[in-house]
Amino acid sequence: MTDASSAGRVAFTAAAFQNAERYEQLMGRWSRRLAPALIRFGGLGDGDRVLDLGCGTGSLILALPDFANIASATGIDLTEPFVAAARARNTDSRLTFDVGDARALPYPDASFDRAFSLLVLHLIPDARKAVEEMRRVVRPGGTITAAVWDTYGGQPFARILWDVAGVLDPALERPFFHPLNGPGEMAALWRDLGLQDVEQVSLLTHMEFENFDDYWAPFASGEGPHGRYVVSLPEDKRAALKEHVYRAYIANRPDGPRSMASIAWACRGTVPI
């Protein structure tokens, strides 16, 4: 992560997330809201063997048994504390969790019926390689489904922070654009890799905060690229950022609950037979 004094560049990768409890507060609680919509979009059937690539703290894989009587599901993530947290939450013997790189999966060819990836591909360097690996380990006729945040137009909770920060520091390069998170980018990659019946849609969920403290606490924790940027600032600049973000959050009303629409791009495709 680049500090705030250097050219205003903010790194935005999966490596920026390390603390499972803080991640849950920043993003995990919203991932759990989005997971059912992605499962419904991708489809799921009884007896399926499922891969959850970039499983994080388990938002998607732990929801799978609610939708079908699956044979098994395997979650894999590079961040060991996240995998440990997912294992601790799990009570279903059909679900297993591995630590590993999405770009070099330790599974045989055609060993799954479906692969899902929830809100992680845009954080992976060389995301194409991760999708290639999903294609490799899913059998012919199986489905590959993924979602990434629309961080430019679909994440008001983050736009408030970064747009205020960009006004306070004109040199800041706001981290809105990442691999596969533009209109049609996932669909183009799916087709380029030979997947069939490709469809890309947008999925809507809401991030609901009890008050400004609930909104600000994940940033102040230092978790993720948002938090690392905030805590990297000198105390006076951090205080100024917080004050201006507070004004944007309350929006001329008393502090209290706020609901912010959030949009993810979702794409699915079928491995050719």
Domains of the chain as residue ranges with CATH: 14-270 (3.40.50.150)
Q: DSSP per residue over 39-106, as a string?
A: HHHH---TT-EEEEET-TTTTTGGGGGGT---SEEEEEES-HHHHHHHHHH---TTEEEEE--TTS--
Tell me: the pLDDT tens digits for 169-184? 999 998 888 889 889 9
Residues of the chain with pLDDT under 50: 1-12
Specify the pLDDT at position 28. 66
pLDDT of residue 224: 80
113 within 8 A of 131, measured Cβ to Cβ? no
Distances (CA, A) of 18 to 84, 87, 251: 12, 16, 32
Cβ within 8 Å of residue 87, ≥6 positions away? 97
**Non-local CB neighbours of 256 within 8 Å, separated by 6+ positions:** 210, 211
pLDDT number for residue 55 = 94
DSSP 184: T
Task: For residue 58, give both structure tokens.
Answer: 């388990």
Three-state DSSP at 144 gives strand
Per-residue pLDDT, 178: 86
pLDDT digits (tens, 9 = 90+) for 100-124: 999 999 999 999 999 999 999 998 8
pLDDT of 9 reads 42
For the stretch 37-75, pLDDT in tens is 999 999 999 999 999 999 999 999 999 999 999 999 999
What is the reported pLDDT for 5?
35
Residue 29's pLDDT is what? 81
User: Tokens 């951090």 map to which residue?
Assistant: 238
